[in-house]
Amino acid sequence: MSEHHQNSKVSSCCSSGKSIKSQEKSWLGNPQMRMTVLCGTALGLAYIIGFLIPSLEDIAFLVALAVGLVPIMRRAYDGARQGNPFTIEMLMTIAATGAFFIGATQEAAMVVLLFLIGELLEGIATRKANASIQALAALIPKTAFLEQDGTTSEVLAETLSIGSVILVRPGDRVAADGEIIEGESAIDEAPVTGESVPKKKKTGDVVFAGTINGDGVLRIRVTASASDNTIARIIKLVEEAQESKSPTERFITRFSRYYTPAVLLLGFSVAVIPPLFMGESWYEWIYKGLAILLIGCPCALVISTPAAIAAGLAAGARRGLLMKGGAVLENLRSVTHVALDKTGTITEGKPVVTDVIALGRTEPDILSLAAAIETGSSHPLALAIVARAKAAQVNIPIASDSKAIAGKGVSGSVADQTVYLYSPSAAQKVAPLSLDQISKIELLNDEGKTVSVLLVDGEIAGLLAIRDEPRADALEGLKALRDAGIVTLMLTGDNQRTADAIGRSMGISEIYAHMMPEDKQAIIQKLQSSGFIVAKIGDGINDAPALAAADIGIAMGGGTDVALETADAAILHGRVLDIINMISLSKKVMENIHQNIVISLGLKVVFLITTIAGITGLWPAILADTGATVLVTANAMRLLRWRGRIS
């Protein structure tokens, strides 16, 4: 292959390596289409002229041959001038020119046309893989409703800056990545993630550009510029990844450098040795030698890997699975251990109130009073309590003299009542807890929950338990990993009791708590020294050393922005189930590559034998090569239909 072809984004050996922009041109503006139509027209005219004026038949077919062959010869010359003479174009030039000199001009012209048709079909399949990613860009609306100085105006979406506030009406597409600051709605993320069920989102939740707002009006604060939103980064990452060769692809490329000269030598030997040393017909064996050159074209073999890699990267990106290159996609299939952070990876990363236990007041009273003295605080536990009160639609009265008390909790006055929300140890000093109450608190603590005691005028009113809950698909996702024979580990900086509570409920094999960043890195290196292949899943920030040390670092959740710069891969939409999806996609891609290699080499062996035996000639030879190229490309394109497991 020429360097030009090797550096093509989809590494096509038979296409001219056009950029995505040129691939998006209409067929009439496509050089491959123009050349194929021109060559086909010239060949058709040659048949007509040969029928009407037999004396001009040879000249007509020579012109038809020249129309298709001259551009191919130019590309062969360019490859040779760049230091790579052993290209598909060079093989085609030698075979077609040789056919002309032995009087097989008609066959040579048809061979060139079939070659151009093969290039065209491959180019169409290649564009389909790229179009599946480029189509994402069309999801982002051109305009947005910007709120500024108390007025709303329609502006170009590309002019939105970070911090701008936009209004998104029901049914509209979200124009930018952002955070909801007002409103609640069901967001259809299917265009970006493939999820069929809209996701309920409220104030504080993140939304992605290109998703569709459901039934509520939303005010959104923009968090990323147009050039840096989720879809733009997906497109950029996939384009860069397609340029990064996988180990298999690098091997095939090296192999083709030796394979192509070997084919030339074999063709020459077949053409020369039988006539020279065995008295065979020169015409017959030169013809066979030329056919072998066509059979030996490494087009299908070389396209077999990059086509599958490109399709796999595209399919993964459509599901929010971003991988930095073919090497990452290929190596994921070998993972034996998956080490996960807890907060923001296995869990949502946002504490929620899980239990409200009434001891002296009703549950609504407890939520109402607790939310009253926590209103205005930015502490995660305070936000969880206020959110729970709003969700329960209880009245939140106005509190006075609210203040945080170091080491104890918060206090305030509500309707002439003194209200405290203390830790159990601090509450015990105000109003002694009964054995039954202590037992309830211990039970909640064992479940990894943080317990606060509500006291009203010095009397215990109730308990509030708060925990960062596991993601909705965490249990299913971790079970899928275990079912695949992969060992799961939790590496968390949280305390042992909380880590055990979450880890045991999720069925995690090994649990490590009180982990500093360097401790996580040390555990991963220890596993690697034992010969295991480790994938580390984390937020990409405090897990950076471990992500870097792992064979494959995968960022998920709050650290996704950092992941796009530092990790090997990223799970954009925070699903634990997507870890096994990423590994499964890797296995599916490698299975596809192996199928493609068998197809491309298998057809060559069959037609090599039949050509030497005199059963097939030039036409079947080029049909076999073109057919193999189309088959492996079409087989790779099947990966675009991959959807993975959805919880």
Supply the pLDDT for residue 583: 95
**Residue showing tokens 């190229």:** 629
Longest CA span, the chain: 117
Q: How far is CA 187 from CA 213, 253, 423, 448, 561, in A?
A: 5, 45, 38, 31, 21
- The H or E element containing residue 128 is helix 105-134
Pairing of strands 487-491, 337-340: parallel
Radius of gyration of the chain (CA): 33
Other C-beta atoms closer than 10 Å to the C-beta of 485 total: 7
- Please check whether residue 174 is in contact with residue 168, taking contact to mean a CB–CB distance below 8 angstroms: yes
Helix axes 88-101, 105-134, angle to 10 degrees: 160
- Please check whether residue 544 is in contact with residue 560, taking contact to mean a CB–CB distance below 8 angstroms: no
**pLDDT < 50 regions, the chain:** 1-27, 194, 196, 559-560, 562-563
Closest by CA position to 244, among listed 332, 329, 325, 126? 325
Q: How far is CA 282 from CA 101, 278, 491, 622, in A?
A: 12, 11, 73, 22
DSSP 8-state secondary structure symbol assigned to residue 507: T
Other C-beta atoms closer than 10 Å to the C-beta of 191 total: 19
Q: Phi and psi (nearest 5°) for 216?
A: -130, 155
DSSP 8-state secondary structure symbol assigned to residue 401: E
- Please check whether residue 418 is in contact with residue 411, taking contact to mean a CB–CB distance below 8 angstroms: yes
Helix axes 618-637, 105-134, angle to 10 degrees: 10
Task: Tell me if the pTM is above 0.95.
Answer: no
- Please check whether residue 373 is in contact with residue 399, taking contact to mean a CB–CB distance below 8 angstroms: yes
Mark out the alpha helices in 282-434 (DSSP H runs): 282-295, 299-318, 326-331, 363-374, 380-391, 424-430
In the three-class reduction of DSSP (H, G, I as helix; E, B as strand; rest coil), residue 217 is classed as coil
Q: In whole angstroms, what is the distance from residue 30 CA to residue 22 CA? A: 8
Q: In whole angstroms, what is the distance from residue 232 CA to residue 529 CA? A: 38
Q: Phi and psi (nearest 5°) for 284?
A: -60, -45
Q: Phi and psi (nearest 5°) for 84?
A: -130, 85
Copy the structure tokens of residue 546: 């471990």
Q: Phi and psi (nearest 5°) for 148?
A: -155, 125
- The H or E element containing residue 558 is none
- Which residues are CB-neighbours of 142 under 8 A, at least 6 positions away? 156, 157
What letters, b where the CB count within 10 A reaches 16 and e where it falls short, cover 11-46? bbbbbbbbebeebeeeeeebebbebbeebbebbeeb
Q: In whole angstroms, what is the distance from residue 632 CA to residue 600 CA? A: 7
Mark out the alpha helices in 489-574 (DSSP H runs): 496-506, 517-529, 544-549, 560-566
Across the strands, what pairs with 451? 465
- Which residues are CB-neighbours of 420 under 8 A, at least 6 positions away? 408, 409, 410, 411, 427, 430, 453, 454, 455
The tens digit of pLDDT for each residue in 154-204 reads 999 989 999 999 999 988 999 998 999 999 888 877 666 545 457 778 888
- Whether 341 is a known active-site residue: answer yes
Q: In whole angstroms, what is the distance from residue 252 CA to residue 247 CA? A: 9
Provide DSSP, 420-477: EEE-HHHHHHHSPPPHHHHHHHHHHHHTT-EEEEEEETTEEEEEEEEEEEEPTTHHHH
Mark out the alpha helices in 147-229 (DSSP H runs): 190-193
CA distance from start to end of the chain: 44
Supply the pLDDT for residue 252: 59
What letters, b where the CB count within 10 A reaches 16 and e where it falls short, cover 539-573? bbbbbbbbbebbbbbbbbbbbbbbbbebbbbbbbb
Q: In whole angstroms, what is the distance from residue 546 CA to residue 184 CA? A: 37
Copy the structure tokens of residue 244: 């990064």
Q: Which of 177, 341, 500, 543 is catalytic?
A: 341
Three-state SS string across 232-282, please? Answer: HHHHHHHHHHHHCCCHHHHHHHHHHHHHHHHHHHHHHHHHHHHHHHHCCCH
